[in-house]
Amino acid sequence: MVQRNSKWVNKLYFGDNLDILRDKIPDNFVDLIYLDPPFQSGKGYNQIFQPGQGEYKGATAQIQAFEDTWTWGAEAEKSYEGLINGTITKEKPNQKLIDLMKSMRSYLDQTSMMAYLSMMAPRLLEMKRVLKDTGSIYLHCDPTASHYLKLLMDAVFGPENFQNEIIWCYSGGGGTKKAYGRKHDVIFFYTKSAEYIFNADEIRVPYTEGGGTWTALQKGAVMKKNIDGKTHLWKPNPKGKVPEDYWAIPFINPMSKERVGYPTQKPEALLERIIRASSKEGDLVLDPFCGCGTTVAVAERLGRKWIGIDITYLAIGVISKRLKKSAEKGKITDFEINGEPKDVFSAKKLVEQNPFQFQMWCILKLGIAIPSETKSGDRGVDGIINFVDKSKKSEVGKAIIQVKGTENVNPSMVRDLKGTLKSQEADFAILITFKNPTQGMINEATNEGYFEFMGRKIPRIQFLTVGDLFKDPIPLKLPNSFIIDPYKKPIIEKETGKEPQEMF
For residues 40-65, average pLDDT: 41
pLDDT beyond 60 at 229: yes
* Residues 391 and 469 both lie in one domain: yes
pLDDT beyond 70 at 174: no
Q: If pLDDT is split at 50, 70 and 90, which confidence band does 419 have? A: very high
Is 146 within the bounds of a domain?
Answer: yes
The strand pairing partners of 399, in sequence order, are: 385, 428
Return the pLDDT at 263: 65
Measured distance CA(36)–CA(10) in Å, rounded: 19
**Strongest mean pLDDT among 138-152, 231-245, 465-479:** 138-152
pLDDT beyond 60 at 144: yes
* Residues 95 and 188 both lie in one domain: yes
* Residues 40 and 136 both lie in one domain: yes
* Residues 236 and 289 both lie in one domain: no
Return the pLDDT at 331: 59
Measured distance CA(114)–CA(148) in Å, rounded: 10
Give 157's Cβ-side CA count (13 Å radius): 33
* Residues 110 and 162 both lie in one domain: yes
Q: What is the largest CA-CA distance in the chain?
A: 95
* Residues 66 and 167 both lie in one domain: yes
Q: If pLDDT is split at 50, 70 and 90, which confidence band does 44 have? A: very low
Return the pLDDT at 394: 60
CATH of the domain at 20: 3.40.50.150
Residue 34 DSSP one-character state: E
Q: How many residues does the chain have?
A: 504
* Residues 259 and 274 both lie in one domain: yes
Return the pLDDT at 388: 81
pLDDT beyond 90 at 193: yes
Is 363 within the bounds of a domain?
Answer: no
Is 304 within the bounds of a domain?
Answer: yes
pLDDT beyond 50 at 52: no
Measured distance CA(461)–CA(458) in Å, rounded: 9
Is 493 within the bounds of a domain?
Answer: no
* Residues 300 and 411 both lie in one domain: no
Identify the domain containing residue 58 by its residue range. 11-203+242-338
* Residues 77 and 222 both lie in one domain: no
Return the pLDDT at 97: 97
Is 401 within the bounds of a domain?
Answer: yes
Return the pLDDT at 175: 66
For residues 33-42, average pLDDT: 78
Is 166 within the bounds of a domain?
Answer: yes
For the chain, the 3-state helix, strand and coil shares in percent, each to the nearest 5, are 35, 25, 45
Return the pLDDT at 494: 38
* Residues 192 and 223 both lie in one domain: no
Assign residue 135 a region: left if phi > 0, alpha if psi is -120 to 50, beta otherwise?
beta
pLDDT beyond 80 at 233: no
pLDDT beyond 80 at 176: no
Sign of the CA dihedral with 13 first, then 14, 15, and 16 last: positive
Is 504 within the bounds of a domain?
Answer: no
E strand spans, 213-335: 223-227, 230-234, 246-248, 284-287, 305-310
- List the one residue out of 357, 140, 317, 170 whose CA is nearest residue 253: 170
Q: If pLDDT is split at 50, 70 and 90, which confidence band does 490 have? A: very low
Return the pLDDT at 462: 94
pLDDT beyond 60 at 359: yes
Contact 367, 487 (CB under 8 A): no
Q: In what order do the strands lie in the sheet with 493-495?
A: 61-68, 43-49, 493-495
**Strongest mean pLDDT among 36-40, 205-209, 344-348:** 344-348
Contact 335, 307 (CB under 8 A): no
For residues 242-263, average pLDDT: 81
For residues 43-59, average pLDDT: 40
For residues 241-260, average pLDDT: 84
Secondary structure (3-state) at 493: strand
Q: How many domains, in total, are found in the chain?
A: 3
Assess whether the previous peptide bond of 37 is cis (omega < 30° from 0). Answer: no
CATH of the domain at 396: 3.40.1340
Q: If pLDDT is split at 50, 70 and 90, which confidence band does 479 have? A: confident
Return the pLDDT at 10: 87
Is 499 within the bounds of a domain?
Answer: no
**Strongest mean pLDDT among 169-183, 287-301, 313-327, 386-400:** 287-301
Neighbours of 239 (CB within 10 A): 13
Counting residues of the chain whose pLDDT is more than 70, the rounded percentage is 77
* Residues 75 and 184 both lie in one domain: yes
Alpha-helical segments (H) within 17-159? 17-24, 74-85, 95-108, 112-130, 146-157
Return the pLDDT at 335: 79
Counting residues of the chain whose pLDDT is more than 90, the rounded percentage is 48
* Residues 72 and 119 both lie in one domain: yes
pTM of the model: 0.79
SS (H, E, C) 268-310: HHHHHHHHHHHCCCCCEEEECCCCCCHHHHHHHHCCCEEEEEE
Q: Comparing 30-44, 94-108, 117-131, which segment has the lowest mean pLDDT?
A: 30-44
Estimate the crossing angle of helix 439-447 against helix 411-423, to 10 degrees. 30
For residues 488-492, average pLDDT: 36
Distances (CA, A) of 228 to 197, 224, 232, 429: 30, 13, 10, 78
Q: Comparing 53-57, 164-168, 307-311, 432-436, which segment has the lowest mean pLDDT?
A: 53-57
